[in-house]
Structure 1
Amino acid sequence: MGSVLAFFVLATVFFYNAGNWLVVSHLPQRADAIVVLMGGVPERIPEAVDLYKSGFAPRLIFPDDYEENPPEVLPDGSLLHNDAAKAMHLSSHFNIPDSVIVIVKGPALNTQVEAEIMAIYLADHPETDTIILVSSSYHMRRALIIFRNEFASKGLEITIISVPSRYTAFDPEKWWQTAGDRKTVFLEYIKIAYNLLWDRWF
């Protein structure tokens, strides 16, 4: 009976904290660059812009991702072929000069590939040893696991400061109350389990 009760208590605690566990938030500090993961550009870029304008890093880095077909057409007729292009466009809207933005050649199809191409870039730029990693709040735990594992596998000693976007429409405290948040939490745990098993066995 005692073990059943203990299991029930632990399961309840895990359930209510499942959303919070996904959100890894470090205190922002000075870094060499702000790395913004693609996907969720409208919520991630504003956070990166806030960090840049607050003086936490002198440049922004966007991993280049796959091209969309068809591309997004702007009112002036120009085309945005992927999230990296959208990130550049949105950054310019916030008066971020192109000269402080680096797009790392991809294409990055997912977070794992983003980590791989960033590892290659950082290996070629040893002066960059501290980065601020920006993504959607629910994505931070998985992104941090993937980036740490990838950097370690390449022998890179990179300090990663995890800063989730405050503009993410996700409530980690009450994630079970909306279908969208329930789906998000479920998928993130599935993806984290997959990444951990892949790193262990392959």
Structure 2
Amino acid sequence: MTGSRSPSRIFAFVGVGVALAALALAFAGKSIGHFLVVADSLHRSDAIFVVAGGTPARELGAAALYHLRYAPLVVVSLAKDPLPAESRNLAGELSPQERSVRILERSRISSSAIVRLTQEVESTREELQEDFNYALANKFRRVILITSPYHTRRVRTIWDFQYESMMAALVSPTPFEPFDPDRWWRSRHELELSVHELLGVAHFLVGSPLPRYSPRP
């Protein structure tokens, strides 16, 4: 019939499209991977803030910087726990914040050098707001924000847009969590992480309209 397309032609078009997409990804892949990773030059600061998540890699990175004397304090946020407290208690597990503190203490950081923030946060944007509030209240001049390599661009973007003019921050990727910016699309795990971060940056730039978690009934 005139105007109809055979299945073989449709599959051919799909195949060409997939090939072109793969070729574009191959050329753009390294650029995207390196875009995601920010590693500022570090200088002595007033505190190291452990961005929530990525446990234990971020805490271990913070401990390493602490022992290199980049800052006298390590600050841990109170991230919203995706599990109800009852589930944690039944399993005998620590909360995310207490787990972070336990790792820091096992890394030979004294409890007097660990600060627990008390305002619960559920997104990177909210967390950095609380980090800034604490830093401002304590008259800090410069802080270090340590997170996973693939998460550093989002942290840098949010801080630059909202706080850098008032408080200097240095963003550092933890060396304890591997991420290859040249090969980020070659495993499902790193591809998922990278796409999540690109969407996270875009979500912030359009005003963060969606909450991270659905409200609990």
TM above 0.5, yes or no, is yes
Equivalent residue for 1:130, pick from 142, 157, 161: 142
* Structure 2 counterparts to residues 148-163 of structure 1, below 5 A: 148-151=160-163, 157-163=166-172
Q: Does the CA contact (< 8 Å) of 1:41 and 1:87 recur in 2?
A: yes
- Alignment correspondent of 1:6: none
Q: Can you list the C-alpha shifts for 1:13-72, whole angstroms capped at 9, x where unaligned?
A: 432221111000012211110011111121101110110001110000111112443227
**Equivalent in the alignment of 1:71:** 88
SS of alignment partner, residue 34 of structure 2: helix
Which residue of structure 2 aligns with residue 36 of structure 1?
A: 50
Residue of structure 2 in register with 1:141 after alignment: 153
Counterparts of 1:33-112 in structure 2, within 5 Å, are 33-67=47-81, 68-69=83-84, 70-71=87-88, 79-81=93-95, 83-112=96-125
The whole-number CA distance in structure 2 between the counterparts of 1:44 and 1:116 is: 19
Question: After TM superposition, what 4+ stretches of structure 1 lie above 4 angstroms from structure 2?
Answer: 9-13
Whose radius of gyration is greater, 1 or 2?
Answer: 2
The amino acid that maps onto 1:62 is V
Which amino acid is the alignment partner of residue 115 of structure 1? L
Question: Contact 2:66/2:72 (CA < 8 Å) preserved in 1?
Answer: yes
8 Å contact kept, 1:119–1:150: no
SS of the equivalent of 2:207 reads: helix
Residue 177 of structure 2: SS of its match in structure 1? coil
Mapped partners of 1:129, 1:135: distance in 2: 20
Structure 2 CA distance for partners of 1:160 and 1:10, relative to 1, 3 Å: farther
Query: What is the number of equivalent residue pairs in this alignment?
Result: 185
- Identity rate of aligned residues, in percent? 24
1:181 and 2:193 are equivalent in the alignment: no
Give the superposed CA RMSD. Answer: 2.4
- For 2:13, the equivalent position in structure 1 comes to none
Q: Deviations over 1:125-176 (max 9, x none)?
A: 12x1100110000000001111232325xxx621111110111132111111
Unaligned runs of 5+ in 2: 1-22, 209-217
Measure, in 2, the Cα distance between the counterparts of 1:72 and 1:23: 36
Distance between the aligned counterparts of 2:24 and 2:61, measured in 1? 34
Q: 1:195 aligns with which of 198, 204, 212?
A: 204
Go from structure 1 to structure 2 and tell me whether the alpha carbon gap of 1:72 and 1:139 turns closer, same or farther (over 3 Å shift): farther
Q: State the Cα distance separating 1:87 from its structure 2 match.
A: 0.7
